[in-house]
Chain A
Amino acid sequence: MANAQLTGALRHLRETHALAQASDAHLLERFTAGREEAAFAALVRRHGPMVLGVARRVLPTAQDAEDVFQASFLLLASKAASIRKRDAVGCWLHGVAHRLAVRTKAQGARRRAREREAADMRDTRSDSGAARRDLQAALDAALGELPEKYRAALVLCHLEGKTLREAALVLDCPAATVGTRVARGRKLLRERLTSHGLTLSSAGLAALLMTSAASAAAPAALVRSAVRAALAFAAGQPAAALCSARVAGLVEGGLRAMTPSKLKLATALLLMAGALTGAAAWARGGGAAGEGARPRAGAEEKKKVAAPAGAKAEAGDAVEVSGQVVGDDGKPFAGAKLFLLTSAVKNKGDRTEKATTGADGRFRFAVSAADRSRGARVVASAPGHGPDWGYLRNDDRIGEFTLKLVKDDVPITGLLLDLEGRPAAGATVAVAWFDQVDLAPWLADRTKNHLTTTRGASPLTLDGPASVTADKDGRFRLTGFGRDRIAHLFVRGAGLADTDIEVLTRAGLPGGLRVQSRAVYPPDLVLTVNPSKPIVGTVRDKKTGKPVAGIKVVCPGGTWGWPSATTDAAGRYRIEGAGKRKDYTLAAGGLPYFNSTKMDIADTAGLDPLAVDFDLERGVAVKGKVTDKATGRPVSGNVGYVALSDNPHLKDFTDLGKGQIFAVALGTIAADGSFVVVCPPGPGLLAVRADAADRYAVADLAGTKNASGRILHDSNAVVRIDPSEDDEKSRTRDVVLESASGVSGSVVGPDGKPVAGAYAAGLHAVWSFGRGAEKLETASFTAHAVGAKPRAVVFVHSEKKLAKVVKAGSGTPLDVRLEATGSLAGRVVGADGRPRAGLKVKTSYRYQELEAASAGGADSPGLPWELYFDYPAWDKILNREATTDKDGRFRLDGLVPGLKYDLAVRDGEATELSRESLSVESGKANDLGDLKAKTAPANDREE
C-alpha cells in the first residue's frame, strides 16, 4: 500500500516535471482533450509572470492586475481549442492581457485624469515614476501591434526570459532565426514606440525590455485560483460563479460602469517601476531607481517657453496685472479684495492683500517675476461671496482678468455617521480643493452630459475655515465656496476610513446625484463612513536588524492623501484611516534608506490591526545645495541620481530594481537650494535640472561614460559623486549652475521677408520631456543658453518647403535665411529590371549618431537632441513618404539640406531595398537612378 502510494507520488512528480518541459502546444492539447488540470497549471505557471507583468504595468493597482490575470487565463481556457498558433501561447496571452488591462484602465482613466489635474494644482513637480510605467505600458501596446512572429520572439526572449535556444524550441525554428526575429522585432518595436511618441535608444529599449521582464513568479494562490476557475469555466460554468465580479466582467466583455474603484490614485502618485539595469540606476524625484522623465515638469516647461523677442514682458521683470471684479449680475463689484497666491503661500496668513476694487470694480497691481515663477493666482473675494480666481501665465500674455464673485448662500451642512448610524463626533472635515463647474449642459441632460469642472482652487482661496470638526451629533458646517461649486472634502476620524467626497453647493437638486461613477452629495448631506483597519508594524535596518525611527510608511489607495505614519524610536508605526479591503499595499522609506514596497498583503479578520514589518536597505544620503554662480542665489529644480555601471555596490541593493510606490519623495530642491537624495555608496552621478532650465548652461557630459539615459540630457549639471558612509565630505555635493544667455534672431525667407510658423529644433540647450516639436508663432525666436561652442539649430517650414540648418553661437544675433528644400527621386525596379509600382518609399532622417552619443554619454555630434529624443514629433515634420507610380518612379520633396536621410522601400511588411546617409541640395532633386528591389513584381512571383 505504502509502496503504491510512493509509486504514485513519484509518477506525479515525474509528470509534473515532464509538463514543465512540454511545449505549449502539447499542454494545450492535453488540456483541450482531457481537461487536464496539471497541463493547464503548467501553462499558468509558465506564462503567469508575464501576464501579471503586463497587467501591472498598465494598471496601478494590484487588484486590477490580478483581475486581468484571472480573466486572461479564463479566456485561454475557453479559447484553448481555437488558438491557431498553439506554440505561441505566450504571445497570445500577451495580446489578451494587454487588451483587457487597457480596457480596465480606460474605465478609471477619466476619474484619474481629474484626480491628476487636482494633484497638478497642488504639486507641480515630484512626479517621475508614472512616466516610466507609462513607458512600459506603451511598450506593451507597441508589442501588440507587431506581426506575430516578431512579437512571439520578443515575448519569449525578453518578457519571459528565455534564451535563444529555449525560444527556438518553443517556436520550432533555428536559434539563428529567433535571433534575427528578435533583432528585427526590436527595430520594429522602436519604430512603433516612436510612433507612440516615445523615442528610445536601442540600449534604452533593451533596458526597458529587461525591466519589463517578469522577475518573480506569480503568487501561488493566484495561480491556483486561476487554474481552478479556468477548468470550471472551460467545463461550462459561468465565469461569474468562479471569480470576482471584475474578472467576470472582463471575461464577458461588456465592461459597464462599475462601482467606484476602491483605489484611487493619490495626490502625488510616485509609482515607479524602478530600473536597475546593468548600465544604470536612475532616479529623479524619488528616493531610488526610476528614470527621471517628468511629463508634468515638461508640461510646466511648455508654459514657460520664453517670450519671443519683442514681447512686452521679459522674464525677470515685474508686470502689472489689471482687471475687473463683477458680481452675479455682471455689474462692477466695489470693495472686493484682491490677493495673490503663489506656491510660497502655505497659510492664509501669508496671503498679501494687493488691491481693493473701486466703484468701477477695477483693480491694478504689480506682480514680481519671482511670484510669477511660483504659479501666481489672482484671487478676488468679498464677505458673503464665493471667490473667483485666475492664473497668471508666466509669459507675456498676461492680459486682463475679469473675476466674478458669486453669492455664498448655500452652506454645506453635513451629518457624519458610521455604518451603524452612530455620529462620527470629532471627525475632521477638511477642504482639499474646490472647483467651479459648468452646470448648464449637465442640468439640461444628465444622462448625456458629464458634469465638467472648469477651474479648481486651493482652500487658501477661501475666507472661512478650510477645516472643521464634527460636533457630538456628527454635524459640521462649511461656507465660503459660493453657489454652484463642487467642494472636495476629506473626512477623517477615529476608527473611520479616510473618505473623500464631492459636494455640490446647489440646493434643491434631487438626491442620488452622480458624476460618472462617483456620487456627488447635495449641500445638506448625510455621509456614512466605513470603519478603518489599523496597520501596525516595525521597520528595521535590513543589515543590522535594528529598529529605525523616522521612517514614513504609507498605505496607498482609497483617498487623495494616503493614510500614513512615521516610525517612533522603537521603529514602530501605526497607520489609521485605511479602509478595510481585500488586500493592501504598503510602502516605507526615509533617509538614508531605500524605499520598499509590499503588495498583495491579504486582509485579516475584523478590525484587528494588520501587522506588516519592513526591513529596509540603508543607502547613503547625499546632500547639497544648488546655487546660481552669478548671483549666489538658490535655484529651484530637482536632482536625480544615476548609478555608474562600474559601481561595485549596486548588487547589494535588491529594492532598487523593483516597482515602487514611494513613501517619501526626494530630490526636489528646497527654497534654500538644498536637496537630498538616497543612493548606493560608490561612483554615481547627480543630475541637476533647474526649473528654469533654459537660463543655465547644459550639463557637460564628459566623464559620464558608464551611464546613459535621457536624464543626462535634460540636466543643467551632471556631477560625479563617490559617496561613502564613513566620509561625510563624500556625502555632500554642492552644485553651481552657470547662467547662460541666449541670442535672439529672426527667420526670413529667400526673399528676405519674415517667415512665421517654422518649426525649430535646437533652440534649447537642455532637452525637455514632452516638449515635442516647437513651432514658432512669429518670425522671431530665441536660442537659449548658447555657449562658446556653436550648436546646430534646424529650421523647417513644411508648407513653404523652406528649411535651414544653422549654427547658433554666443554673441551676435542670429538671422536665418531659409532656403528651398531639396528632393530625392528615383525608380524602383524588380530583380528582373521591370518597374515595381505601388511600393512605399519612406525617408528616415538619421539620428543614429545622436543615439550612439547618448548611449556613450557623449556630447551631441552636431544635431539637436530633440531629433533623437522627440523622434515621433520630428518624424512627421522632417520625413517624407511616397508610393512608386506605374513606372516605379517616386519623388520625395521637402527634405532639409544639411540633414542625412536613410531611404527604405517596402512592399507591405517586407523591405525591398534601402539606402543610407543620403543628402539633398537646396532646390535640387537628387536622382538616385534605378534602385533594384529584391523581388520581382507580384504578378510574376505568383508563377
Chain B
Amino acid sequence: MNDGTKSPARGQPWAVYEPSDAEPWNLCRVVHLHRRAGFSATWRELRRDLKDGPKASVDRVLAGTSRADGVPENFAEMAALLAESARDPERLKAWWVYRMLFGPDALTERLALMWHNHFATSIAKVREAATMRRQNELFRTLGRKRFGELLHGVVRDPALLVWLDAPANRKGHPNENLARELMELFTLGIGNYGEADVKESARALTGWTVADDTFKEDPARHDDGDKSILGRAGRWKGGDLVKALLDHPATARRLAWRLGQEFLGEGAADAAGMKMLADGLRERDLDVGWGVETVLRSRAFFAETNLRTRVSGPTEFVVGAARALETFDAPPSTLVLADWCARLGQDLFQPPNVGGWPGGREWVAAPTMIGRANFAAALVGGRLGRGGAALDPAALATRHGRGGGLGDTVGFFDELLTGGSGSRERVLAALGTLAANDPATVRRAVVLILASPEMQLN
C-alpha cells in the first residue's frame, strides 16, 4: 500500500499468480499461504500443496478443505457443545480457539477474526457470552457474502447495538455512537463524511434497540423528521442509511483496505492496486468472497515483496505454532492458549476499543516479543495442557523423514514454521557445535525458531 516500493505485481497485481523462475511455487510460498490465510499448516499439508500447485492449494483454502491433520471427526458436535457451555468470557475464548485449532476451515476463522476486528465489540460491556457468540457466528456465516448482507446483519446484532449504546439513541435524545462508528469504522472511513452527517445519521438510527436480546425497531422512539445525510435530504430511516453507506464509493475503498490489512504485507500493493481492488468490489456489489479469492490467488499476494512483510498477530502466532507442531494428541488447553493470546496483546472478544487492534507494527513491543518466546518455551515444554508432557519435536521430524542429524532437524523446523527463512544457521550457532540431535536440544531449537524475528513475520 506504500507507493514507494517496487513490486513485480505492479500493473496487474490482481492477476492470478503463475509460478515463474523468479517467483517459483516453493515451500516458502506454501507456508506463506497458510500463515496468511489460516493458522499455519502441518508438514503433510505443506508437502501436499507444494506438489499440487497454487491453484489446488488455494482452492482447498477457499473451500475449507485444506486441513488434512488434526480435525476431529466430531468437530462440529464438539464445537457446538463448547459453544453452548461457554457461559463466561474465558470459556467463550476457549471455544473460539478450539474452532481455530481443530476446525476444518481455517480461512473462515481468520475472516471471523478480521470481522471481529472490523466490528470490534467487547464482552466487557456486552457482558453476555451467548450474545457475543451469536455475533461471532454472524462473522462466520456472512463473512464471505456480499458486504451488504454482513453489514445489515451486524448493525442489527444485539451485541453491537449494546456496545454502541443504540438503546440509548432515541428521538430527542440522540446518542451518536452507532452512527459515528458506522461511518468512521464500518463503512466510509474518516474524511468521507462530516460531523453534521453523524448527527443526522444518529437521528435516522433512533428507535433501533435491543429487546429480549434481539434487534427491535421501535417506531415510538424513532425520529421521523427530515434529515440531510451526505447531501441528500429525506425522512431517513436506519435501513436507508445503511443502504446509502453501502452505495458510497468510500465503503468499497475501506473494504479493500481491510482485506489488504488482513492478507497483505507492508507495501505489497500500491494505491493504484488498492483502487483496482476497490473498484472490483464495487462492480461486484461488494462481494467479499470475490475480494478474498482475488487477493489469495493474486500475483500481489505471492509476490516476493509480499513474503514475510506482515507482523503476525498474537492469535495467528499462538494457534499457528500449536498447529504446525501437530499438538493434536495431547493438545494445549484452548483456555490457556486464549489466555496467551491476551497476554500477547489480543484478548479475544475484548478488543481495546471500538477501533479494534491496530495490528501491524503495533504488535511489536519488548514485552510481547519476550512473551512470545515464553509462550514458545511453555508450548514446547508441554506446560500448556492437561497431562503436561513436553513435546517431542525430534520425533515429529523423524516421522516426516527428517531429523538425520541436528542440522537437518533444525532445517526441518525452519521450513515448517517459517518456510525456510534462513534462521537455521543462526539457531545451530546458538545451540553450539557440541549440541546433539536429542529431544532436549531439538526442543531448544524449536523454541529459538519460534522466538526468532523471522517467525514474527509472515
Contact = CB atoms under 8 A, between A and B. Distances in A.
B353 interface: yes
Given A259-B87, A418-B386, A519-B87, A241 B336 contact: no
Contact of B333 (A256, A494, A531): A531
Contacts of B90: 530, 580
Nearest to B371: A605
A526 B81 contact: yes
A229 to B, nearest CB: 11
Interface in A508-563: 511-512, 519, 526-528, 530-532
B336 A606 contact: yes
A241 B339 CA distance: 19
A815 interface: no
Contacts of A262: 88
Contacts of B87: 259-260, 519
Contact of A421 (B72, B123, B165): B72
B98 A241 contact: no
Chain B contact surface mostly: helix
B331 interface: yes
Interface stretch (B2-10, B377-385, B444-452): B377-385
A530 B91 contact: yes
Interface in A757-800: none
Chain A contact surface mostly: loop
A607 B388 contact: yes
A239 interface: yes
A830 interface: no
A11 B336 CA distance: 46
Contact of B335 (A238, A494, A580): A580
Interface in A849-879: none
Contact of A496 (B125, B177, B386): B386
Contact of A606 (B81, B98, B334, B378): B378
B150 interface: no
B248 to A, nearest CB: 27
Contacts of A129: none
Contacts of B129: 259
Contacts of A512: 84
B354 A420 contact: no
Interface string A17-43: 000000000000000000000000000
B333 A245 contact: no
Contacts, number: 115
Contacts of B378: 605-606, 608
Max count, chain B CB within 10 A of own CB: residue among A244, A421, A526:
A421
Nearest to A514: B87
B376 to A, nearest CB: 12
A521 to B, nearest CB: 10
B216 interface: no
Contacts of B388: 495, 607
B401 interface: no
A531 B127 contact: no
A419 interface: yes
A258 interface: yes
A605 B374 contact: yes
B165 A531 contact: no
B165 to A, nearest CB: 7
B85 to A, nearest CB: 5
Contacts of B94: 419
Contacts of B334: 419-420
Contacts of A244: 124
B98 A245 contact: no
B387 interface: yes
A260 B88 contact: yes
Given A238-B165, A259-B88, A606-B339, A248 B98 contact: no
A507 B81 CA distance: 19
Contact of A531 (B81, B89, B177, B335): B335
A240 B74 CA distance: 37
Interface in B327-372: 331, 333-336, 339-340, 343, 352-354
B82 A419 contact: yes
A interface residue count range (under 10 / 10 to 19 / 20 to 34 / 35 or more): 35 or more
Contacts of B383: 606-608
Given A528-B82, A580-B339, A606-B378, A494 B386 contact: yes
B125 A241 contact: yes
Nearest to B72: A421
A580 B74 contact: no
A519 B98 CA distance: 22
Contacts of B435: none
Given A241-B353, A248-B125, A420-B98, A606 B384 contact: yes
B81 A248 contact: no
B122 interface: yes
B147 interface: no
A494 B387 CA distance: 8
Interface string A245-283: 100110000001011101000000000000000000000
Interface in B42-100: 72, 74, 78, 81-82, 84-85, 87-91, 94, 98
B17 interface: no
Given A528-B85, A531-B386, A608-B378, A240 B124 contact: yes
A418 B72 CA distance: 14
A243 interface: yes
A355 B424 CA distance: 81
Contact of A420 (B126, B177, B331): B331
Contact of A511 (B84, B88, B163): B84
Contacts of B126: 240, 245
A488 to B, nearest CB: 18
B384 A258 contact: no
Contacts of B333: 418-420, 531, 607
B53 to A, nearest CB: 34
Contacts of A249: 127
B353 A531 contact: no
Nearest to A582: B90
A531 B385 contact: yes
Given A512-B84, A526-B81, A607-B385, A240 B125 contact: yes
A419 B335 contact: yes
A417 B81 CA distance: 10
Contacts of A419: 82, 91, 94, 98, 333-335
Nearest to A248: B125
A895 to B, nearest CB: 56
A248 B91 contact: no
Contact of B123 (A245, A418, A608): A245
A418 B336 CA distance: 12
Contacts of B82: 419, 528
Nearest to B213: A256
The 10 closest A-B pairs by CB, nearest first: A240-B125, A495-B386, A259-B88, A531-B333, A421-B78, A420-B331, A245-B127, A259-B87, A240-B124, A606-B378
18 contacts: A240-B124, A241-B122, A241-B354, A243-B124, A259-B87, A260-B88, A418-B386, A419-B334, A420-B102, A511-B84, A512-B84, A527-B85, A530-B90, A530-B335, A607-B383, A607-B385, A607-B386, A607-B388
Interface of A: 237-241, 243-245, 248-249, 256, 258-260, 262, 417-422, 494-496, 511-512, 519, 526-528, 530-532, 580, 605-608
Given A245-B89, A419-B82, A580-B335, 11 more contacts: A259-B89, A419-B94, A421-B78, A421-B98, A494-B386, A494-B387, A495-B387, A530-B90, A532-B386, A606-B340, A608-B378
Interface of B: 72, 74, 78, 81-82, 84-85, 87-91, 94, 98, 102, 122-129, 163, 165, 177, 331, 333-336, 339-340, 343, 352-354, 374-375, 378, 383-388
